[in-house]
Chain A
Amino acid sequence: MKILVVDDQAANRVLLSYLLEDDGHEVIEASNGEDGILKFQRDEPDLVLLDVMMPGVDGYEVARALKSHKTRHVPIIFLTALSDDVSLSRCIESGGDDFLTKPVNETLLAAKIKAHERIRDLNAELTTKNQELEQLHKLLRQEHDLAEYVFDTAIKGGLNHSNVRHYLSPMGGFSGDVILSETSGRGTLFVLLGDFTGHGLPAALGALPVKQAFTNLVREGANVGEIATHLNQTLFEYLPGHMFCAATIIEYNPVTLKAICWLGGLPDMFHLGTDGCIRHNIRSQHMPLGVLSAREFRNAVVNLQLEAGERLFLYSDGVTDCCDVHGEMLGEQRFELMFNGSISGDELFDSIVTRVRSFGSGRPQDDDVSMLEVMAIPGEPLSNGYELEYLPNDFSFSWCLELPQIQDNRVFERILQSWASHPFFQARKDDIYEALECICFQVLETHYLDVDADLVGADMNREQRVEIRHQSLLRATEAKLALIISFNATNMTLEITAAPVAMKDADPAALVRRRLSF
């Protein structure tokens, strides 16, 4: 160690130097207080042996000056002839770490130096660890801030529809509950309320892919069932086995006031009457998103017809699980009683939020809490806000479809994929698909297929008719179909024409045509 000896007596310095150098230390000598302070700064010793009584600046003052340089821990051991309690305590008060009485005992000196060396090493280690910890904490903070920024910009926003109200209160900085809304090209409104397993950052992570996929799917014209299927698949692949997302997805049509809902794992959705009372509880029918494989997943939806002024109310279980001061949970029963008709209309949502918050106000929140209301207000189709920068030009495509191409039940999907990627057509994807399917089958049934007329009942739904057609298609031995799709940008119409090919008695009457106006 490098040791600074400050003493005005040359004899003392010589003796100490002799003892210390013998033990392998390097010694710097200073003959008075000023010199000591100077050499302390210049030579950066590891330990200081300091005489108390010196002319000029005395030992106490030197100790105070040295300790004011707080860059690292340097032990100061006072050397004193005084042994009364007052003097000794002054040594410690002025910043000394220890003291030795003169004349110095060699063994005691070596022992004290050894002990302070250990303390110094411990101190150095602690300082390094602290610096590392501080650095890590800073890094963590930065990463957390960055993540929070990305989440805020990615998840929030886009919820300013006049007929949607929402309340989202995360337990911490990140929310494991997610509320999304998006307007489709059909003029309908899509909303999603999701609750990921757990809370905080891990739970919030899943929200990013959900938001991305949800936005894209709605813009591409997907329906509720397709969105549920896709989100389930994304989360199934993306999340570990113990994580999932309980969610409800709704498509609300402001013209017909119909709502199409997929419900997976959230508490009951309420269908509220105009009086603010619960008309129906709509129970979840599916497992949450991300649990079932594509093979097991079902995307069946619930169709609801709303009346003007009625509402759909959704919430995450953080609402009913919140506890009052006594640790008692709010519970579903008590929550449903809040919808007792005493408050209705536009005040209802805020009033429910206030009552839930005041119930849980006595205790810290221990889960994310979210609520969402969609109100049926008759109106125009909604504008989706993204302007079409260009409209498609005139075009015309034709296909010649043969067996077994036609037997593949995804043939129409492929035809659509090949030209209808423009959002203009995506918005009407379902209509175009149905028209395509309908006229092609009309031609096939008239000319090639042997469809048992008795099987096709008038009361059949579309799926059943399609199934019968496919059954007969599989038995077909020949079929050839010309399909022409053309778009006229001037009068904004899409024309789909189908005709049998190479029939001996081909005649214009065999043509089947349908026009879609935009």
Chain B
Amino acid sequence: MTVSVEISNDVATIRIVGSFNYSSASEFQQVCDSVSPTVSRYRIDLAQASMVDSAALGALLNLRRRLADVDIDIDIDIENPTLQVRKILEVSRMDKKFNISAR
């Protein structure tokens, strides 16, 4: 699996390809750390993420919490999850903390 980031116009787009799980969660974390604090919006593109596990949800929540800690009101959009991934996001009610948009 790979995590890549692209920044344009203050928007950081993080793309996850493959299985978003325990081992890739730390890579995701590192990528997030590398993003400058000046971005105003995060887009997490899950179009090519084959599955997510609880560690991945934890990594997403951690990003949310860290941004909240420094008191920045930043939108985090989760985009294009596959049906299976979308179901996992729904069961854990991630929609309460993120904007989830279908493909």
Stretch at the interface among A14-22, A240-248, A347-355, A446-454: A240-248
Q: Is the CB of A244 within 8 A of B55?
A: no
Within 279-302 of A, Cβ neighbours of B (below 8 Å) are at 283-288, 291-292, 296
| Cβ-neighbour of B93 out of A267, A268, A285 (below 8 A) | A285
Chain A 250-283 interface mask (CB, 8 Å, partner B; 1/0): 0000000000000011111000000000000001
Known: A195-B54, A197-B54, A197-B55. A244 touches B93 (CB 8 A): no
Chain B 56-68 interface mask (CB, 8 Å, partner A; 1/0): 0111011001100
Query: A225 near B: Cβ within 8 Å?
Result: no
Known: A241-B62, A242-B59, A291-B97. A284 touches B54 (CB 8 A): no
**Residues of the B chain whose Cβ atoms lie less than 8 Å from the Cβ of A292:** 96
Smallest CB-CB separation from A240: which chain B residue? B62
Q: Is the CB of B54 within 8 A of A283?
A: no
Known: A198-B22, A242-B25. A265 touches B93 (CB 8 A): yes
Query: B8 near A: Cβ within 8 Å?
Result: no
Q: Bound complex: CA of A195 vs CA of B58, how far in Å?
A: 13
For A242, A246, A264, A321, the residue with the greatest tally of chain B CB atoms inside 10 Å of its CB is A242
Chain A 221-242 interface mask (CB, 8 Å, partner B; 1/0): 0000000000000000000111
Known: A198-B22, A241-B61, A242-B62. A287 touches B54 (CB 8 A): no
Q: Bound complex: CA of A115 vs CA of B53, how far in Å?
A: 55
Q: Is the CB of A284 within 8 A of B93?
A: yes
Q: Bound complex: CA of A317 vs CA of B93, how far in Å?
A: 15
Smallest CB-CB separation from A332: which chain B residue? B87
Q: Bound complex: CA of A244 vs CA of B93, how far in Å?
A: 13
Minimum Cβ distance to chain A for residue B101 (Å): 19
Q: Bound complex: CA of A286 vs CA of B25, how far in Å?
A: 23
Q: Is the CB of B55 within 8 A of A265?
A: no
Query: B91 near A: Cβ within 8 Å?
Result: yes
Q: Is the CB of B96 within 8 A of A241?
A: no
Q: Is the CB of B91 within 8 A of A284?
A: yes
Q: Is the CB of B58 within 8 A of A284?
A: no
Q: Bound complex: CA of A291 vs CA of B97, how far in Å?
A: 10
Q: Bound complex: CA of A57 vs CA of B59, how far in Å?
A: 72
Q: Bound complex: CA of A139 vs CA of B59, how far in Å?
A: 32
**Residues of the B chain whose Cβ atoms lie less than 8 Å from the Cβ of A285:** 93
Q: Bound complex: CA of A195 vs CA of B61, how far in Å?
A: 16
Query: B94 near A: Cβ within 8 Å?
Result: yes
Sample 8 A-B pairs with CB under 8 A, ordered by A number: A241-B58, A242-B29, A243-B58, A265-B91, A266-B91, A284-B92, A284-B93, A285-B93
| New A-B contacts (13) at CB < 8 Å, excluding given A242-B59, A284-B91 | A195-B54, A197-B54, A198-B54, A240-B62, A241-B61, A242-B25, A242-B58, A284-B92, A285-B93, A287-B93, A287-B96, A291-B61, A292-B96
